[in-house]
Amino acid sequence: MVLSKPARLRATVEGPDPVVVEVDGIVPSASDRADSHPSSHVRPLPDTVASRAVGQRRYEAVVDGWVFQVSVGSADRARLQERVSRSAKEAGLQVHITIRAQIPGRVVRLWVKTGDTVEAGQRLLAVDAMKMENEVRAPRAGVVGALPVGIGQTVELGDDLVILE
Amino acid sequence: MRRSARPSLKRVLIANRGEIALRIIRACRDAEIESVAVYSDADRTARHVRAADHARHIGPAPATESYLVGDRIVEAALSCGADAIHPGYGFLSERADFAASCEAAGLVFIGPSPETLARLGDKLAARRAAVSAEVPIVPGTFEPLRTDSPKAMAEVAAEAERIGWPLLVKAAAGGGGRGMRRVDHPAELAAAIAAATREAAAAFGDGAVYLERFVEGGRHVEVQLLGDDHGTVVALGERDCSVQRRHQKLVEEAPAPGLSTEQRRMVHTLAVRIAATVGLRNAATAEFLLTPNGDFYFLEVNARLQVEHGVTELVTGLDLVREQLAIAAGSPLSPPVLAAAASAAEPTHHAIEVRISAEHPLTDFAPAPGKITRWREPGGPGIRIDAGVEEGTVVTPEYDPLLAKLLVVAPDREAALARLRRALREFEVGGIQTTLPFHHWLVDQTDFVVGRLRTDLVALTWDPEPLWRAAAGRAAEAVAQLAAHEAHEAQASGSTRMELTRGQETGSTRAWQEAARQEAVDRWS
């Protein structure tokens, strides 16, 4: 049986400053695989709407106790998507960004209201979790387009907090 | 032989949750005493609830509406016929008013008397008690600072000059580093006092603060104490808890590395002297600062079971909770306790504990609640796990982030460290971020390995960014290779094996969790 050459894969550790690794479709033997390191383990995660849309699989990988969400897919397709989003930016398309809850907790402070103009780094609101107040700041300058939360409201991980136009 | 003041306990209510509640329930079961768990809405199916003989619901998830409501807990104890309450640590454990209301309701409070708790809760009163017991304390003040007039402030400034710089502003009712400020220059003093006062008032409802000299390069050494109703108090050895961040302990060990037998005897004697002065009963810990010159300065007494009591248990072979239960029933200190106390300055084992918390080491240990999707504990010789969670547990932001304690014991420190390294490699947690990466890093740090400990070790040497980045690279590589491998195999066999595995794994986990949850709900609601 003849196998076609496997595609080059790109794995991206999710986060504000993603770590990207690409491997060629050369399949390593089980003992050479990085996940055979005794203090690391890898598990598949359920697909999300977003990951399915871009043809990626999601895994959780734990290395020396650090827990990572890693997306993996075709490197060629990822490069194509990068080019598309770069040209959209160059064309001057302004998009809004959604700031989501990084931890579940209770909204205890609101420093802004809908329509406010904010600077990059400005405090928007605070979420109380595990006896600590966690400030949420604006990642860039903009206008508060929507504020779907109120003081005292419980938020879950990933809930929308602020839409910044 | 002296008769017990009370008949032995029959049923004990544990006014706590998580790992410590389970720990106490286990001691009750070993002693053939029935246990009663209490739980909030968030803990309905928690391990401690399932482990206990009985359980009582005490309110909604926020601790201020459940675990901190003393009246409701006393009511729960009375309604289920308990004869004693064990408070664990945190929550109500050091509240004199709670101990008093237990006693008023005819329940045994497993801990010191309300009078002792009241006296020890005020750090300034504890400092005065130490002086009267001729125990050295960190140079500083003994009364709450007064800064309400320019004249009073000038007196405080003069006092500060006498103590010397740098110094600490500390809350009289303090704990856990709240209401504490380091001051390096006279010009910063007034602002630091104002900030510490505000913080202390918010955290403890008492804004009283005092001054204490800051000792550079000091170690945190504490002594485990047990006292009975008959006036006997003993020291069961010391622990080093210097590995801290912002006054929160991360790692504890027993004995404290590098002390001579004379030094151990000395600090044990000082601790017993203070305990005797305040009339200590049951379990407590006297905390000391060990200076680089080898001097011990008394800091405070924690009049309760400590989080880190387990390392002392592994070194002495005692079950401290079981001893607490016996003491609470009026028994004199047991022969094993007296024997352990007699040999406490010459320990024959070494134990280390690391705290596994739901905190993110990269983002300055910010809370990291969520659902635990994988929980595989290490095992084998010399390993003990005290955990309050399991696979499927949802860690809520309502409570303390401590999930579990990993303890190791071996004949000496080097062997204990080797066991700790092994245990950390075996420990697998997924779904939420924990403090495990910190411990992976620590066990290979030269200062820690050779026992050169100091409370600012973490602040001076912990730099997580490069560690995180290196691990992220390895994670990405592992996933890419696994995906390549699976794609290759799927293609080779012409099947969709990978898809099937994924579906089965997520499907069966859900079914199992649902069944377990349903069973727990049926049992307790």
Q: What is the pLDDT along chain B (525 residues), one digit of tens a residue?
A: 444 455 689 999 999 999 999 999 999 999 999 999 999 999 999 999 999 999 999 999 999 999 999 999 999 999 999 999 999 999 999 999 999 999 999 999 999 999 999 988 888 999 999 999 999 999 999 999 998 899 999 999 999 999 999 999 999 987 767 889 999 999 999 999 999 999 888 888 888 999 999 999 999 999 999 999 999 999 999 999 999 998 899 999 999 999 999 999 999 999 999 999 999 999 999 999 999 999 999 999 999 999 999 999 999 999 999 999 999 999 999 999 999 999 999 999 999 999 999 999 999 999 999 999 999 999 999 999 999 999 999 999 999 999 999 999 999 999 999 999 999 999 999 999 999 999 999 999 999 999 999 999 999 999 999 999 999 999 999 999 888 888 878 777 765 434 333 333 333 344 444 455 555 544 543
At residue B323's C-alpha, the angle toward residues B318 and B329, to 5°, is 165
Dihedral of CA B370/B375/B381/B384: which sign? positive
List CB contacts (< 8 A) between A130 and chain B: 358, 367, 369, 397-401
CB-based contact (8 Å) between B202 and chain A? no
**In chain B, where does the domain assigned CATH 3.30.1490.20 lie?**
139-213
CB-based contact (8 Å) between A154 and chain B? no
Give Cα A53 distance to the centre of its chain: 15
Q: Name the helix (H) or strand (E) containing B40.
A: strand B34-40
CB-based contact (8 Å) between B161 and chain A? no
* CB-based contact B476 A3, cutoff 8 Å: no
Work out the mean pLDDT of chain A and round it to a whole number: 81
Alpha carbon distances (Å) from B140 to A27, A101, A120, B270, B289: 67, 44, 44, 19, 14
Check whether domain B216-348 has CATH 3.30.470.20, yes or no:
yes
pLDDT at A25: 64
Q: Catalytic site residue B304?
A: yes
**In chain B, where does the domain assigned CATH 3.30.470.20 lie?**
216-348, 356-462
Alpha carbon distances (Å) from B509 to A123, A156, B275, B516, B519: 40, 22, 51, 11, 15
For residue B32, report the phi and psi dihedrals to the nearest 5 degrees: 55, 40
Residue A97's pLDDT band (cuts 50, 70, 90): confident
CB-based contact (8 Å) between A120 and chain B? no
What is the C-alpha separation between B459 and A111, in angstroms, rounded? Answer: 32
Residue identified by tokens 């066991």 is B419
Among B304, B355, B413, B454, the active-site one is B304
- What distance in Å separates residue A140's CA from the closest CA in chain B? 20
What is the C-alpha separation between A22 and B515, in angstroms, rounded? Answer: 41
pLDDT at B516: 53
* CB-based contact B480 A43, cutoff 8 Å: no
Contact status, residue B311 vs residue B253, Cβ threshold 8 Å: yes
**Residue B16 DSSP symbol:** -
* Domains defined for chain A, CATH in brackets: 9-90 (no CATH), 97-164 (2.40.50.100)
- What distance in Å separates residue B366's CA from the closest CA in chain A? 8
Joined together, the tokens standing for residue B344 give 């406490």
What is the C-alpha separation between B389 and B22, in angstroms, rounded? Answer: 10
Report the pLDDT averaged over residues A137-156: 87
- Mutation target for B interface from A64, A71, A134: give the one with most B CBs within 10 A: A64
| DSSP class per residue in B234-257 | EEEEEEEEEEEETTEEEEEEES-T
- Mutation target for B interface from A52, A130, A135, A156: give the one with most B CBs within 10 A: A130
Helix (H, G, I), strand (E, B) or coil at B515: helix
| Dihedral Cα B165, B171, B174, B175, nearest 10 deg | -20
The closest alpha carbon to B35, from B331, B321, B405, B327, belongs to: B321
pLDDT at B495: 52
The pLDDT tens digits of the residues spanning B87-131 come to 999 999 999 999 999 999 999 999 999 999 998 888 899 999 999
pLDDT higher than 50, residue A12? yes
* CB-based contact A21 B473, cutoff 8 Å: yes
Write down the CATH number for the domain with range B139-213: 3.30.1490.20
**In chain B, where does the domain assigned CATH 3.40.50.20 lie?**
11-110
Contact status, residue B218 vs residue B290, Cβ threshold 8 Å: yes
* CB-based contact A25 B484, cutoff 8 Å: yes
Cβ-nearest to A103 among B397, B469, B473: B397
Q: Name the helix (H) or strand (E) containing B194.
A: helix B189-204
Write down the CATH number for the domain with range B356-462: 3.30.470.20
What is the C-alpha separation between B186 and B143, in angstroms, rounded? Answer: 20
Topology adopted by domain B11-110: Rossmann fold (3.40.50)
